[in-house]
Amino acid sequence: MYIKHKVIIAGAGGIGRAAGLIMAEQPDFDCEIFIGDIQLSIAEEACQWIQKGASSLVNIESFEIKPDSLSEHMDYILKSADLLLDCLPGSEAPRMAAFAKKYKLHYVNLTEYVDETRQILEISKDAETGFILQSGLAPGYVNILANHLYKEFVSQYGDHQVDHIAMKVGALTRITTNPHYYGFTWSPIGVATEYVKDAIVIRNGIKTSIASLTDTTDILIDGIHYEDDFTSGGAADLPDYFAGKVRNLDYKTIRYPGHYAWVKKQLAEIGLQDNPEIELLNRMKQAIPNVDEDLIVLYVGITGKDASGTIRIKERSLRIEPSYVGSHKLKAIQTTTAAPMLEAARMLLTGKYKGPMLQSQIDTQEFLSGSFVQMIFNQKKHKELV
């Protein structure tokens, strides 16, 4: 049966407009798009940008999201839609989730904010529609891939002892300079926050927290030297799901060598104070440039032993660069964040899911084989280690 979906995108920034364009370019996903922002002019500009970049005619309408009230226009849009993609700052997520529940919309968000996620889990626990949370790149895609590789590992070698699930993602630049060895390719406040907040991990089978940036290590991926360290948020709900099932699990952020030493120096100078991420953000913005030409480096590894006690590893890596969608060139961080969100949306629109869903609950095969994910993560130019 032919179905044309009506999709709301809340937030007309880089990820929101990328999601709109990718939807418009996906031949097996027919939809009407409503894109809104707290600043109407930004929503209008995003609407025009998507229409200009799409290779075929797309029905798209802009609207304003008022910060403290609900306009008649937005009320009308909410009543007529099927799904809400929340690309707004994480602080807005509970309000958007409440709208989705009230208007019986499916809901997908990106935020790694812990308190807001807990609020949405409570809001959506008895919802008639599906709510998939933390559905971007990390948290999001990397967690689903890790769960999928874990299942493959256990199927091949058994669950005698899975020693370590390692998840690593880096949003990097092609070129960087000392002393910071970095360039902003996404939200600067997001970077500063993940460096300061604790990381949730599994150690010896027990879920626990570890201070971020306390274990900088070297890693070679496809022959290129990087460093990685603990940061907050990227593990999603996998520490809860795998506690007692695996010995160790963690998420680390990949950077070029030398970056974390520079950040630790800044934090040492900042010292103990309320909201150290704000001071770190200010220092980073004074020294680090914003860069459009980016790349994503991703790694997942499952290490354990087979029945004979032989150490085994199943691992996968990807290097994803900017790519054209329609006539627009999108940053790698845009495509790798928007595509998993859209795949989650497609799953919800099947009508098979109700209530809240975190990354451990997603059907990994259905998700990874979906056309939105395949479009971005499985292009022939990407290398894959199996």
Mean pLDDT of the residues in the chain: 93
Give the per-residue pLDDT at 386. 35
Residue 10 banded pLDDT, cuts 50, 70, 90:
very high
Q: Assess whether pLDDT exceeds 60 at residue 1.
A: no
- pLDDT per residue as tens digits for the range 294-308: 999 999 999 999 999
| Rounded CA separation 355/194 (Å) | 28
Give the per-residue pLDDT at 264. 97
More confident residue, 28 or 7: 7
Q: Assess whether pLDDT exceeds 70 at residue 270.
A: yes
Secondary structure in 3-state letters for the chain: CCCCEEEEEECCCHHHHHHHHHHHHCCCCCEEEEEEECCHHHHHHHHHHHHHHCCCCCEEEEEECCCCCCCHHHHHHHHHCCEEEECCCHHHHHHHHHHHHHCCCEEEECCCCHHHHHHHHHHHCCCCCEEECCCEECCEHHHHHHHHHHHHHHHHHCCCEEEEEEEEEEEEECCCCCCCCCCECCCHHHHHHHHHCCEEEEECCEEEEECCCCCCEEEEECCEEEEEEECCCCCCCHHHHHECCECEEEEEEEECCCHHHHHHHHHHHHCCCCCHHHHHHHHHHHHCCECCCEEEEEEEEEEEECCCCCEEEEEEEEEECCEEECCEEECHHHHHHHHHHHHHHHHHHCCCCCEEECHHHCCHHHHHCCHHHHHHHCCCCCCCCC
Q: Assess whether pLDDT exceeds 60 at residue 381.
A: no
Q: Assess whether pLDDT exceeds 70 at residue 383.
A: no
Give the per-residue pLDDT at 44. 97
CATH topology of domain 5-133: Rossmann fold (3.40.50)
Give the per-residue pLDDT at 379. 53
Report, as an integer, the average pLDDT of 168-184: 96
CATH topology of domain 141-330: Dihydrodipicolinate Reductase; domain 2 (3.30.360)
Q: Assess whether pLDDT exceeds 50 at residue 385.
A: no
Domain residue ranges in the chain: 5-133, 141-330
Report, as an integer, the average pLDDT of 328-340: 97
Share of the chain above pLDDT 90, in %: 87
- pLDDT per residue as tens digits for the range 54-90: 998 889 999 999 988 889 999 999 999 999 999 998 8
Residue 382 banded pLDDT, cuts 50, 70, 90:
very low
Best CA proximity match to 339, nearest among 376, 305, 300: 376
